[in-house]
Structure 1
């Protein structure tokens, strides 16, 4: 049954952002940040409270392909949180935050409705931003609120759909399609922005004789063209009449971002456009036939050339009210593509600021000078573009892909090429200070491994990185944070295993294994921030660095130098105050490589380590007996222990050692398992310490994904899980292993793990098994330990709520060793690019 007693609590979710500028937004109602992460939408709470920890608390499942656009509705009638999302699956989805929930609960968003599909991927969603509304827009009457709001969605096929959204209506009427626009000449839309020009029967500054019978909107569209198209139209109950009214030229490359804001003093709309030509242009939408004072008769010059200030005139609404769009300003300061431009208007004094994000690895905040009206850069965050690797869109770091304002304007966030977020906070005095944010893998996470005593967790992914997570002792809830990125590689990494408190081994598609040792700087940081003690800390190397064009992390005695001026780094080796920020993680937390282990002919598929840590066993992808061997290495001198063990004919998927290392289990694609027995007599020097004991051909009817041993207190037994939707229990009966129980499931089982000790419950002693499925669902099973040894009566103990479960197949499950008597932690990796840690209470 589903967890109804609150026994399972998600304690940590790590997942990286999709590298798409439009796929993130900050909600002014709930204060949450939503961002696309693979096929899911990650929800992030930036600050921890007494009852809630910071970080990603949930992922919304529903999209069947990558999420490419995310937008919250601003100024909803009842301050409810409404989220819009679109993806490569071509469908627009509407989500709503379910109330009430207490501070200790996980906020829950439910899917209200999904649109009929576009003909192409959705690339952006436009909503009316609170900063672009009329100054008295918050006092609009109830009648108009009940009519919902207008939104637009842009698709890769060159079409833009206009919708009316009313979350208060029944499901089939929540989203009403009003009109479909097509870009002509056809181009690929990258950004759209929407704002209201005038409202029907509203005191919005329009004279009584000029009011219209319907709301009049302006829609700006840009993309793989160097011009911006302006569509203007009125919206009615079930239709709209948007038509092309102006085309703004001036940029010299694709235009990546658009943003509207309303100037409080003039009631004019300002439009910001950010382009790959490295410039931001500002445009003014003015009501009336007379040009605004800022534009009338002016001749702007830059670099010796006059800037065009042509007035683009159009009429809108049933009253044919006259409007003009004129060029306002050119903002010069970025040295590479501008990915994002976002306005913010202060709710108290109406002051306008513009946040821009660029591929030059910087965020800039722009304001108009109060005296001259000239727009100037008042703050700049990130790295200097001259720093090694900081530039550009084609460089190693790849710049900042978006820029978001917090609801109160005291925080800004952005993320980079590797999906990690960065955050800056200001106290209001102009200085912006970097604060902690979230990060995660951006491709399938293939494995997780706890340190032998459970002090920290390691993960590895197809994004070619390994990461280390530990509890920060100074956080209010002792939450997990990423403290190191030991390996940043050139190959997809498939497996990882911890062999001691200071070493681990990883295997990748490059056909060899690499052994890494912890540097002194990381050990001291973990001691300072996490209370993790290392006995031989002074013997460790200082730091590691990766040579240019190299894959091997080299141990060095001094920190690697950086060219150019960067921000002050709070993550130095002495006096650590916070977990490392994203820029430090990606450059200063590598582990030095100690050894390379050769022998396999194809990509590494799995690595296992004995519980004593003296031997590791490895396997690679294989389609023949000669390559499906298990190679063993001892961990003191890293010599291979020969001969290689032959038992399988296809890829070995998992290797597991019994609790006392007497037996070793391997399972594979050939649908068989093999038990190897430890050799205790007559063992030659550097000879393989295990020999085959029993091979069970056709142990299951489909590929076996995983196999694990039960604790010794429950007898000699192991469990296997396969694509045939069954879990089988095998016990030692005399000299042979036989199947004693089969548990059936509704879908293939892709990963399992067994708690390393039996637990005491009211009904007796039990073995605990975590089962991960192909859909991302997982549950916990238990079996009673019999009086004379052995286990029986496997049954589901608790099923995990799908809202907090991964969205794709689970690749590995790992119970934390050395847990408390009544509380257990389990780490799960998934193909949805997430690493999750759950706490289970008995």
Structure 2
């Protein structure tokens, strides 16, 4: 592929976060947020610049199963960014930020090293946190030499492994295994935290000084295990130091910080008992002043303040751990706690995230020293529904501080992030964040004029993306969540500017219409105008026990107009809480007829007919059913041609022909009948069926533009793509193009392009391994195409990680340029620019 006249540039990535508290982190060096998203690590640039849009800009591929732990290594001595990740695949990986190597300017992370596998899934990774952002350090840099440090990884087999990370080395030597700590039997570690107790300036022979470390481990019990170790203790390594008791349920999160005024370490522990406990690690034989008594009274309850004493290091210096404070305020499980120490004033703050749908910021009162909640973000717990103990999966799963402490972020059960910014007056204001599907994305469909994009997924939701005109770079954002369903949704197609139809595992199709509130918002924020806005329904609501979004025509007194105006006049695209509550589209019709799960839906270019198919293993079920879109009556008879599941249905540009391809390795072409039709009779009749058109399953088939002739293209698991041209009354194979992987999705640009005086048809092809590329074929003077060739091979760094399920070129309309949308089984929706 030596042709350099075209290149692909990523424009937008939407992907949701894994619902795992330890799977995200905010980097102090790069300013990026990394979070686990399925098997990949999504990298999110929080703020937009003049040249770089905000949002997810890349996904790191390498893990073979779900990513469950992500941690950046704070390295003030090195401008680079180091990322650690672990997952259900049991392997710990080390990534490093390198300079962009192409004109796109996309920051790139390369895999430096990976560990031998644990015996169980990795559930958390502990790294030392430096002062200004997250917590504790006595020395500056990653280690005393700025190149090495100690890290710990906990896994579901009950073990915690200690590693030395040395960036001065290369290859597998970057990561060295030092020790494995075996926790008690039948104990699942859920969180680990690591801090440096002390460090001598130089060693006995002028080398690096001794580093003394403390490690906290918590999990599926109500106690915290404390270990201490030093670099001088090469034989014994970390040894048990204390067991902290007091919590009444599993302990989900741990965080260390070094207090500026006393130089003591503080440890925060968040538990499923709804409480946060603070513990003080004090150096010396004398106990801290506030721990003089053996009991503390809080809320009328006596709390033990037993001093846990231990010694550490080659000098056996004495330390103590005492209970410091009990933070009461959350009404459900505490998933995450994270300390921050401000560089300016040295104040220590704690951020906590809970299943009660709230983020809380805690700070010690300057006068009394009592820890109080100074800010609370999220919703009132009464809006949450059932508690975690009774089956709720809501709430906030993690809380992260920005490097400067002026922002906090969190994500919830839908995989969408929420962000708050400190206004400077003590008020935290919500800002735009990122969101995305959390399971396989099965389909994408552009609105007929290409003004917005729809996607649907096995996470039982449908989403709408459009350009926000106030964005400097006119970036895409999610503006609506039209359908939230009770079944996995397999297919979607746009019927018009205000309607779409989707098909799910429930064996029927549902038609949705755009409500007036969403239309007004899209007009105000995206410049998308609707001519018949006054005829649209007001809002939609979802019954508690129903699957259908119902249209609700409300009056101002019933709060309908107030809700519409709130959506219309807001300064930002809808936030995650609004998307799932206030941006539904009302359902207009249900279409019945199929006996099994819907597999695909096609719509004529005129928008007057849709064709549908379902999963099938017999001729009677592998039929194509047709519905007209005015009264939604089924057009009979159903079209029989296939014996197994039909995978894709496509109409020619002028709707004269309809193509279907399927699992039975054959394609069928149906021709439109315009005369002699009875009322509600199917307007298409079988023209030709090609048995064994490919040697394996045919996944996709599309028509080329009319100006290139009567030609369609099919793509299959046999790694071949074939062109079929109408010659007389028969369709014949004229071109075969071979790929290295099975082809799972294709789409043809709806216009012929001119390159150096020659005319070409352009096709995007997606593969089973997530790779994709652009092909082109020359248009012959007398009609037809010839000479398929690879044109643009898309960089592996910017493609999906798993099978591509659908590709859709944006219709070339008012918006200039060429854009292609891709859905993938890695739960992502991606939009790329084709730059010529």
Contact 2:75 2:141 in 1 (8 A): no
Change (3 A) 1:574 1:62: closer
Contact 1:606 1:619 in 2 (8 A): yes
Counterpart-to-counterpart distance in 1, 2:249 and 2:484: 33
Secondary structure at the aligned position of 2:745 is classed as strand
Secondary structure at the aligned position of 2:274 is classed as coil
Most deviating of 512-521 and 238-247: 238-247
Give structure 2 stretches of 5+ with no counterpart: none
1:47 maps to what in 2?
A: 47
Deviations 1:298-350 (A, max 9, x none): 63213432100000000101101000000000000000000000000011211
1:680 to partner: Cα distance:
1.2
1:754 maps to what in 2?
A: 748
Contact 2:517 2:564 in 1 (8 A): no
Deviations 1:99-153 (A, max 9, x none): 367996100000000000000000000000013776762389x96324x010000
Contact 1:134 1:267 in 2 (8 A): no
2:762 maps to what in 1?
A: 768
1:427 maps to what in 2?
A: 423
Q: Does 1:297 align with 2:299?
A: no
Q: Does 1:169 align with 2:133?
A: no
What are the residue-to-residue correspondences of 1:436-585 with 2, within 5 Å?
436-558=432-554, 572-585=566-579
1:777 to partner: Cα distance:
0.2
1:138 maps to what in 2?
A: 140
From 600, 604, 608, the equivalent of 1:614 is 608
Contact 1:389 1:395 in 2 (8 A): no
Change (3 A) 1:662 1:542: same
Change (3 A) 1:55 1:569: farther
Contact 2:140 2:146 in 1 (8 A): no
Secondary structure at the aligned position of 1:627 is classed as coil
Counterpart-to-counterpart distance in 2, 1:763 and 1:379: 64
Counterpart-to-counterpart distance in 1, 2:669 and 2:405: 61
Secondary structure at the aligned position of 2:63 is classed as coil
1:124 maps to what in 2?
A: 124
Counterpart-to-counterpart distance in 2, 1:461 and 1:767: 30
Counterpart-to-counterpart distance in 1, 2:704 and 2:234: 63
Secondary structure at the aligned position of 2:340 is classed as strand
Counterpart-to-counterpart distance in 2, 1:725 and 1:521: 46
Change (3 A) 1:557 1:158: same
Counterpart-to-counterpart distance in 1, 2:679 and 2:404: 68
Counterpart-to-counterpart distance in 2, 1:380 and 1:562: 29
Counterpart-to-counterpart distance in 1, 2:605 and 2:235: 68
Counterpart-to-counterpart distance in 1, 2:137 and 2:391: 43
1:235 to partner: Cα distance:
2.3
Contact 2:233 2:314 in 1 (8 A): no
Change (3 A) 1:569 1:376: farther
Contact 1:545 1:560 in 2 (8 A): no
Secondary structure at the aligned position of 1:521 is classed as helix
Q: Which TM-score applies when normalising by structure 2?
A: 0.96
Deviations 1:420-471 (A, max 9, x none): 0000001332100000000000000000000000010000000000000000
Secondary structure at the aligned position of 2:285 is classed as coil
Change (3 A) 1:411 1:2: farther
Counterpart-to-counterpart distance in 2, 1:560 and 1:247: 60
Q: Does 1:589 align with 2:591?
A: no
Most deviating of 236-245 and 52-61: 236-245
Secondary structure at the aligned position of 2:113 is classed as strand
1:742 maps to what in 2?
A: 736
1:284 maps to what in 2?
A: 280
Counterpart-to-counterpart distance in 2, 1:730 and 1:240: 71
Aligned pair count reads 830
Counterpart-to-counterpart distance in 2, 1:440 and 1:559: 33
What are the residue-to-residue correspondences of 1:2-401 with 2, within 5 Å?
7-99=7-99, 105-131=105-131, 137-138=139-140, 144-146=145-147, 148-201=148-201, 214-236=210-232, 241-297=237-293, 299-387=295-383, 389=385, 392=388, 398-401=394-397
Contact 1:389 1:397 in 2 (8 A): no
Counterpart-to-counterpart distance in 1, 2:555 and 2:122: 44
Contact 1:570 1:576 in 2 (8 A): no
Secondary structure at the aligned position of 2:383 is classed as coil
Deviations 1:684-722 (A, max 9, x none): 110000010001000000000000000000000100000
Contact 2:256 2:268 in 1 (8 A): yes
Counterpart-to-counterpart distance in 1, 2:278 and 2:357: 22
Secondary structure at the aligned position of 1:587 is classed as helix
1:574 to partner: Cα distance:
3.9
Counterpart-to-counterpart distance in 1, 2:58 and 2:2: 17
Contact 1:405 1:413 in 2 (8 A): yes
Contact 2:356 2:384 in 1 (8 A): no
Q: Give the superposed CA RMSD.
A: 2.2
Secondary structure at the aligned position of 2:30 is classed as coil
1:716 maps to what in 2?
A: 710
Counterpart-to-counterpart distance in 1, 2:567 and 2:769: 43
Secondary structure at the aligned position of 2:31 is classed as coil
Counterpart-to-counterpart distance in 1, 2:558 and 2:795: 46
Q: Which TM-score applies when normalising by structure 1?
A: 0.96
Counterpart-to-counterpart distance in 1, 2:557 and 2:319: 56
1:6 to partner: Cα distance:
7.1
Contact 1:233 1:243 in 2 (8 A): yes
From 655, 662, 672, the equivalent of 1:661 is 655
Contact 1:420 1:440 in 2 (8 A): yes
1:760 to partner: Cα distance:
1.0
Counterpart-to-counterpart distance in 2, 1:102 and 1:776: 21
Counterpart-to-counterpart distance in 1, 2:156 and 2:534: 57
Change (3 A) 1:312 1:349: same
Secondary structure at the aligned position of 2:572 is classed as coil
Deviations 1:751-801 (A, max 9, x none): 000001111110411000000000000000000000000000110110100
1:681 to partner: Cα distance:
1.2
Counterpart-to-counterpart distance in 1, 2:3 and 2:229: 51
1:75 to partner: Cα distance:
2.4
1:578 to partner: Cα distance:
1.2
Change (3 A) 1:133 1:44: closer
Change (3 A) 1:750 1:296: same
Secondary structure at the aligned position of 2:520 is classed as helix
1:571 to partner: Cα distance:
7.3
1:78 to partner: Cα distance:
1.2
Contact 2:202 2:210 in 1 (8 A): no
Give structure 1 stretches of 5+ with no counterpart: none
Change (3 A) 1:356 1:822: closer
